[in-house]
Structure 1
Amino acid sequence: MQSQRNDRNDHFRKELFTRWTTGLEPLEQRVSIFSHIRDIPYAIVPEWRDFEDVEKKMVIANRGWCGPKHHLLAWMFHSLGIEIRYTYIPFRWQNQKVEYPQELRELLPYIPTSTHLCCTALLNGTWRLLDATWDPPLRIVGFFVNEPWDGMSETIPAVTGFEPNDRDSALSDPSSWEKRREFVKVLNTWLEEIREETNQFKQ
């Protein structure tokens, strides 16, 4: 059963890889893969965290967070013959230079330290950080959106990291789990509102 699921997932990724790279020069293939993954609307979907085919689920639903985005990017860059390493950045949502709405600001103290996942790729002999987390409409409120990407340069990390050196007080708050669930719900809704407003402005 596990083997069948893996085979289905690999088949899906190979079809997607072909769709995003056919007819393009090597540098254009990198840009195409990165841009397609970056442009998937960011959303946290807790119920997918143990889902076997989470990358497939993300592409079909057209929403996902840094984890599945960069697992898919790593697989595709490996398919281009590019060496990839995963990069983990500890961060706090409340430390980001983002114009959060009041409802989210009230929840931020309850959100513990998180870990952001992105990639480092060996491009022309140099390791360069690649971060395809935030989709372009989110730039308007302060998220670091790497658009455009030239296929060679290092990108800006999606989050401002830090060196954790003490216990996170949010972990010991008995009400924090409910607050975290509420944070995810409010965050996803807010990001959708930003995209809708951006699309209306373009029209």
Structure 2
Amino acid sequence: MKEILRSYKQTPASSIAARCIPITAKGVVRGRLRPITGDTLQNPAEIKLIAEWREASADWFTTRFPLSEAGTSRWLEQVWRADDRILFFVEDEECTPVGQVGILHYDPLKKQCEFDNLLRGRKGKFGNIMIYALITLGIWTIEELDVMEGFIRVVADNYRAIRMYESLGAEEIERTSLIRLEENGVTRWVPGQPGSSPPPERELATMRIKREVFLKLHQSNLPT
């Protein structure tokens, strides 16, 4: 199954349209998921875009560091080379990138994955495109990767994101206390224990989406 991820990520630019996944809302195509491939690593404009999106949403990541286009390029290469993860651009009806979604820790034996790097970079023509992008990605993981359970980790004070994930069928199953560590300009939120120094300041919520629940909620978006 991991070969499927590899085949999407290694698609040449000349064939990329065939690997894009239509984003539909109530039967109408509103955009597409375009896999980030080796060609993206050679595209300074797209690397700059991803760096800007990450910087704008830095408060919602458990690691915050000074971003640069060079650093973003190195990170994208790691994503591209990893055999258990993939990242997609979310594009609107005009094929303009407006955000990104991805998965990591894909385990074909446990039939699990984690949804990751869910970012809206700019407003698209269709206001709810990110919600439908996540639904599209969820359907794709079920149909292409046979995923039975998906997980999302989100800082617990990101209330808007949590409400959106709940609307998709996710339920919270665990909370982890986080303490803040600062070193060489990098801020990390790492697991901490009661009574630890410094004391916990935030929490990380782990949410789970079960296949049967997701399919029941989103039957109207399933391909016919």
TM-score (norm 2): 0.25
- Judging by fraction of residues, say which structure has more helix: 1
Structure with higher RCO (Cα < 8 A, 6+ apart) = 1
TM-score (norm 1): 0.27
